[in-house]
């Protein structure tokens, strides 16, 4: 009896180890994330589970030892619960091949039937996620059934899953009683009493442990995906604040030119349509600096139509930085800020200067971008809180950089009244 209990404990440890190995496979984990799978994906799921089960059965047969390695019954049931009838049936057939070759002819029909039984358990779930909430503790399910009537269906499903595992093990026990041990592998021993009961308990945990391990890995991956989607949604929301703002300003410019200079208004409309086409085509969060500069030139052509000779633009761009990837629409709102708040109130206009260069820092190569103007400047009170002010411009750019880079960036704004403002961004190259 003691030897049998040790074998069962080793079997549980092996089940946990195999489940952990499979959970580290990105391909297998992606299969677990899908609730609806095509035939090819069901075959892949079956292949992953049956490969380990068949290997364990082979080890047991050829070494005439290591009985704990044989988990074909549990693997077939598990494949059916997770992947449905097809996965359970195929897993039952594949993992029984070594046993069939060794003369255990009842293995294939038994494991195939148990795989189909697992598919039936999956169909009983009202919610596909119920499969991953499976608990091996019958008393806990019974307590929830009594304590939380609103969740009665969930508790009943958990209890049905436990009874199904016991039924599968009972089917093996019945075949053993009818045909003897030669046609089927079991861990039962004649007249062993409590040790046979332990086999039933071990079967419950051998199925439930992989379910819990894979369920945890699946939840972690789903959480990562949700966090990524949340970040993308936030980036899109922040970007959406920029594009309409620029559009409205440009339309105001067109409106002021329609009566006084229709030809210029028509030219601005053409330039605006070119910019909008670029915005619609660009769905990426990052773009090469070269493309960002091209966009800025189109934008400034529109602004220069409005301001004429009062607006000048100077670029000091290191050639080596042109292919560096930067967040899309990063510089345009800063240049727009310089024109709108720095140069517009200044009667004689002024100059916007854009610079880019690489600098070597202890943490690695960094890209420095700078937008400066010689406008009216910003007073100290407003400058202290400029990054926290909600709205469009510097605070929007800061939010986007925070989402994309976390703490791995720097954005600073310096200004002197009457002399101008400089915004500097430092990014990993």
- Asked if residue 339 and residue 206 are part of one domain, the reply reads no
Using DSSP, state whether 317 is helix, strand or coil. Answer: strand
Using a pLDDT cut of 70, give the percent of the chain over it.
86
Give a yes or no: residue 113 inside a domain: yes
Measured CA angle at 278 (ends 261, 423), to 5 deg:
85
Confidence (pTM):
0.57
Report pLDDT for 248. Answer: 77
How high is the pLDDT of residue 145? 62
Task: Report the C-alpha gap between 77 and 80 in whole angstroms.
Answer: 5
pLDDT value at position 225?
74
CB 360 within 8 A of CB 321: no
Q: What is the side-by-side order of every strand in the sheet holding 420-428? A: 311-317, 350-361, 364-373, 420-428, 410-416
Q: At what angle do helices 39-63 and 2-23 cross, to 10 degrees?
A: 150
pLDDT digits (tens, 9 = 90+) for 38-62: 888 888 888 889 999 999 889 888 8
How far apart, in Å, are the Cα atoms of 2 and each of 66, 68, 71, 187, 195?
15, 14, 20, 13, 8
Please give the tally of structural domains in the chain.
2
- Among all chains, which residue has been given the structure tokens 């967040």? 327
For residue 408, what pLDDT is reported? 86
Residue 8 lies in a domain: yes
Could you read off the pLDDT of 265-274 as tens digits, one per residue? Answer: 888 888 788 7
**Whether residue 148 is found in the same domain as residue 36:** yes
Q: What is the pLDDT of residues 136-185, one digit of tens each?
A: 776 666 666 666 666 667 777 778 888 888 899 899 989 988 888 788 88
Asked if residues 335 and 343 have their Cβ atoms less than 8 Å apart, the reply is no
Mean pLDDT, rounded, for 81-105: 91
Contacts for 72-76: CB closer than 8 Å, 24+ residues apart: 72/96, 72/99, 72/107, 72/111, 72/185, 73/110, 73/111, 73/114, 73/168, 73/169, 73/172, 73/203, 74/15, 74/203, 74/206, 74/207, 75/49, 75/50, 76/111, 76/112, 76/114, 76/115, 76/118
pLDDT at 356: 94
| Same domain (yes/no): 162, 304 | no
Which region among 43-52, 135-144, 213-222, 365-374 has the lowest average model confidence (pLDDT)? Answer: 135-144
Are β-strands 350-361 and 325-327 bridged in parallel, bridged antiparallel, or unpaired? Answer: unpaired
Q: Which residues constitute the domain of residue 344? A: 261-428
Q: What is the pLDDT of residue 141?
A: 60
pLDDT at 419 exceeding the cut of 60:
yes
User: What pLDDT score was predicted for residue 143?
Assistant: 62
Question: Domain check: are 10 and 85 in the same one?
Answer: yes
Rounded CA separation 88/42 (Å): 9
- Cα dihedral across residues 76, 77, 83, 86: positive or negative: positive
> Helix H segments across 282-368?
289-307, 332-337
Q: For 320-324, 364-368, 388-392, which range has the lowest pLDDT when averaged over its residues?
A: 388-392
- Residue located via tokens 């400066």: 372
* First-to-final CA distance of the chain: 65
We report the CATH number of the domain holding residue 359 as 3.30.565.10
| Domain annotation covers residue 229 | no
For tokens 């779930």, the residue is 125
Answer yes or no: is 128 within a domain: yes
Q: Are residues 215 and 288 in the same domain?
A: no
124-141 mean pLDDT: 72
Q: How confident is the model at residue 198 (pLDDT cuts 50, 70, 90)?
A: confident
pLDDT > 90? residue 338: no
For the ranges 74-78, 92-96, 216-220, 253-257, the lowest mean pLDDT is seen at: 253-257
Same domain, 140 and 266: no
**Which of 148-152, 192-196, 307-311 tops mean pLDDT?**
307-311
For helices 85-95 and 107-124, the axis angle rounded to 10 degrees is 160
86 in a structural domain: yes
């Amino acid at each position: 009896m003691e030897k049998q209990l040790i074998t069962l404990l080793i079997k549980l440890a092996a089940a946990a180890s195999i489940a952990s190995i499979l959970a580290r496979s990105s391909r297998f984990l992606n299969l677990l994330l899908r609730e609806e799978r095509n035939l090819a994906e069901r075959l892949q799921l079956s292949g992953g589970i049956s490969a380990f089960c068949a290997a364990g059965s082979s080890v047991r047969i050829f070494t005439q030892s290591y009985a704990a390695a044989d988990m074909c019954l549990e693997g077939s049931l598990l494949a059916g619960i997770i992947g449905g009838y097809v996965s359970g049936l195929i897993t039952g057939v594949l993992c029984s091949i070594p046993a069939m070759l060794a003369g255990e002819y009842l293995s294939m029909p038994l494991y195939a039937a148990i795989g189909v039984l697992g598919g039936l358990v999956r169909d009983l779930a009202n919610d596909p996620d119920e499969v991953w909430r499976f608990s091996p503790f019958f008393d806990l399910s019974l307590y929830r059934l009594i304590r939380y009537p609103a969740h009665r269906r969930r508790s009943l499903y958990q209890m049905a899953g436990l009874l199904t595992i016991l039924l599968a093990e009972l089917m093996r026990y019945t075949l053993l009683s009818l045909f003897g041990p030669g046609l089927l592998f079991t861990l039962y021993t004649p007249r062993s009493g409590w040790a046979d009961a332990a086999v039933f308990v071990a079967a419950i945990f051998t199925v439930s442990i992989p379910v819990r391990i894979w369920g945890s890995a699946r939840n972690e991956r789903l959480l990562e995906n949700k966090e990524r989607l949340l970040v993308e949604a936030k980036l899109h929301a922040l970007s959406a604040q920029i594009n309409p703002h620029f559009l409205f300003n440009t339309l105001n410019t067109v409106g002021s030119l329609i009566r006084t200079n229709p030809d210029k208004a028509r030219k601005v409309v053409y330039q605006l349509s070119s910019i909008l086409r670029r915005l619609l085509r660009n769905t990426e969060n990052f773009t090469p600096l070269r493309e960002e500069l091209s966009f800025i030139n189109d934008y400034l052509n529109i602004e220069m139509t409005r301001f004429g000779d009062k607006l000048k633009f100077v670029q000091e761009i290191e050639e080596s930085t042109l292919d560096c990837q930067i967040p899309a629409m990063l510089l345009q709102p800063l240049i727009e800020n310089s024109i709108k708040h720095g140069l517009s109130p200044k009667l004689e206009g002024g100059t916007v200067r854009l610079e880019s260069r690489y600098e070597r820092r202890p943490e690695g190569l960094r890209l420095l971008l700078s937008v400066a103007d010689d406008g009216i400047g910003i007073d100290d009170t407003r400058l202290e809180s400029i990054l926290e002010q909600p709205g469009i411009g510097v605070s929007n750019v800061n939010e986007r950089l925070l989402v994309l880079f976390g703490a791995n960036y720097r954005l600073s704004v310096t200004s002197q009244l009457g002399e101008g403002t400089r915004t500097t961004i430092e990014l990993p190259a």
